[in-house]
Amino acid sequence: MRPRVFFDFAIGTEPAGRVIFELYNDTAPKTVENFRALCTGEKGLSAVSERPLYYKNSIIHRSIRDFMIQGGDFTKRNGAGGESIYGSAFPDEDLTRPLESEGLLCMANKGPNTNGSQFFVTLRDCPHLNGKHVVFGRVIRGYDEVVKKLAAVPVDDKDRPQHPIVIVNCGELELKRKAETSQEIPSRTRHSSRSRSRSADHDRSTQKKKRSKRRKHESKEDAKADDEDRKNEVEKVRRQETEEEYDARLEREEQERLEEAKRRELERIKRKYESTPPASEGGVRFKGRGRMKFIDPELHHRR
């Protein structure tokens, strides 16, 4: 299965939502590994810039309506910086895939074989860029809800968003193994048949031989049954999520994240409201049972 990564965006201080990308590691493996590692931050500090090789807290520094949004410059934050995990620019991989639709994830560059960390997401088909930029992924969730919202942020005369669009969190989404449905099945009781009462009147030696044979037979069968149970449990653990289960889990986690963000925002508004002092009465004076009379502050002051 192709790897999937995510960006959590915010516009200013307001959460904007999550975008999930599927990466084409089958056609652009080096480009995909660079982008994936920059999403996880697993490479640590750069030996060149001494900055974290990490997209987190970087910005979308360029946005052109009905064309693309561009980010990935985590060193200078203005489109003049950025750095790959390989220490320098790396060559183009697959230039045959066309920029034929919206939501494509592409490498930004300064010419042939100058890939670093900057990327852009298309807002429409861009045939004039075919053969010039590596297409290495696509948006599979969050285009209509998030990407279009980011593209609608006003920009200045240099196409820079007037409100900061920040990648507040990012990482890789991984398949989870199925949790064990139950604890390991305990071994069957092997002594239940061994507690039979013994009669002192019968021949003890004969009874002992019979019991010994039964014990050996039962022990073999119980051991065989236990082995089969263990194998079944191991098979259950080894079975991974299907792609449908994976998508369903991502959808569920996204809904939970949105609900949590909404709850936090409501709590913030409530705290702000409670901490705001009550407004003054201004020029309205309340009298009696709800009667009120307007008092012009200027006329009243002159008197």
Give me the catalytic one of 133, 138, 141, 150.
Answer: 133
Give me the catalytic one of 7, 119, 120, 136.
Answer: 120
How far are the Cα atoms of 140, 188, 196, 226 from residue 218, in angstroms, in the given order?
A: 56, 10, 15, 12
Q: How far apart are CA 187 and CA 200, in angstroms?
A: 32
Retrieve residue 171's tokens.
């990482």
| Helices and strands per DSSP (H, E), number in the chain | 5, 10
Give me the catalytic one of 18, 61, 62, 97.
Answer: 62
115 has catalytic annotation: no
State the CB neighbour count (10 A cutoff) for residue 232. Answer: 10
173 has catalytic annotation: no
Retrieve residue 9's tokens.
């965006």
118 has catalytic annotation: no
Task: Assess contact for 150 and 63: CB atoms under 8 A.
Answer: yes
Give me the catalytic one of 90, 95, 129, 250.
Answer: 129
133 has catalytic annotation: yes
62 has catalytic annotation: yes
Give me the catalytic one of 95, 109, 211, 257.
Answer: 109
What is the distance of C-alpha 194 from the center of its chain?
57
| Torsions phi, psi for 299 (to 5 deg) | -65, -40
Give me the catalytic one of 9, 18, 35, 70.
Answer: 70
162 has catalytic annotation: no
| Residue labelled with tokens 């240099």 | 158
215 has catalytic annotation: no
What is the distance of C-alpha 66 from the center of its chain?
26
User: Which residues have a catalytic role annotated?
Assistant: 62, 67, 70, 109, 120, 129, 133
